[in-house]
Amino acid sequence: MQNNQIIYSQPQEKRSFLSRLCSCFEYFKKNPKQENQYHPEIDSPKSSFIGQRKIIVLDLDETLVHSQFQHFDSYDLSLDIVVQSQNFKVFVIVRPGIKQFFDQLNQFYDIILWTASLKEYAMPVMDYIDPDRKAVERLFRDSCTPLKNGLTKDLTKLGRDLKDVVIVDNSVFSFIMNPENGLKIKDFYFDKFDKELETILPFLIWISQLSDVRPVQIQYGEFQKKKRLEKKSDEQQNQYGISKSVTIQRKKLNRKSLIKTLTEHVMERARVGKEDTNESEKETFEMGN
């Protein structure tokens, strides 16, 4: 929604103390202690902190979805919204892999959806991408912090130790107040073959088991490096296995060739010897007569 000034340019909504208090009660009601689960294919570091679920904050626009006022053929959802008594039609495309992304993250994190967009637009989009309400909380523009260059998300407002908080956003400015907690994701617009959520999911599951997730971006770089080295090692082992197999096959072929050559040689010697014997017997017979 980067270019949708109507949605982004509205003044902040003010929340009453009672509203904020209700939000806190709602958060803790939706946040029961759950037994920690592990992804069967991820080698997660084991520590004494296992069992404490961390928080993951997910941005909306250009992170999980892309929305615009102009019609395009591949949209997943169209919305009719009213902002300040004006009607707008918004077309939304959802990033591929979002269902599996939510399902898997829900096993390891308390999910919070947090957008700088207006609630009138964002709420129906969140309903669409998270119909089962796996996110324990939804935060909108009024929860953002205004700075000189725009709105940002101050993670300290969540009331949790920042060592347990990860934010995934396509804009670095969104976590400029807590840079060590942010993972910058590639912008999403129209690519139906995008695999970014699938790519970062193993890392997010892995980091959920660390005692301190910070600095998230550096951790991600190290994780990618480790995976590249493991892939290279596997390829080298496979290549070694293929080379070894080829060598064995060559040895077998050489052995077969040698046996065949020796066999032919012996047979040839036997044939020549037989011909010599027959010739000698013929000469003896002629001389005798």
pLDDT one-digit tens code per residue, 200-224? 999 999 999 999 999 999 999 999 9
Instruction: Give the separation between CA 89 and CA 80, rounded to whole angstroms.
Output: 5
Q: What is the CATH number of the domain that holds 122?
A: 3.40.50.1000
8 or 227: whose pLDDT is higher? 227
The pLDDT, as a whole number, for residue 234 is 78
- Based on the fold, state whether residues 267 and 207 are members of the same structural domain: no
Instruction: Give the separation between CA 32 and CA 37, rounded to whole angstroms.
Output: 15
Q: Which residues are catalytic?
A: 59, 61
Contact between 54 and 108 (Cβ < 8 Å): yes
Number of Cβ within a 10 Å radius of residue 8: 17
Contact between 142 and 148 (Cβ < 8 Å): no
Answer yes or no: is 76 within a domain. Answer: no
> Is the pLDDT reported for residue 189 higher than 90?
yes
User: Which is nearest to 182 in space by CA: 192, 172, 191?
Assistant: 172
Residues in the chain: 289
- Based on the fold, state whether residues 134 and 270 are members of the same structural domain: no
pLDDT one-digit tens code per residue, 29-69? 444 443 333 333 344 333 334 447 999 999 999 999 999 99
- Based on the fold, state whether residues 174 and 122 are members of the same structural domain: yes
Q: Which residue has the tokens 């690519």?
A: 191
- Based on the fold, state whether residues 201 and 239 are members of the same structural domain: no
* Mean confidence (pLDDT) of the chain: 79
Tally of CA atoms within 13 A in the half-sphere of 36 that contains its CB: 17
- Based on the fold, state whether residues 135 and 102 are members of the same structural domain: yes
Which of 169, 184, 214 is a domain's end point?
214
Residue type, 105: L
Which residues span the domain enclosing 177? 52-64+94-214
Answer yes or no: is 130 within a domain. Answer: yes
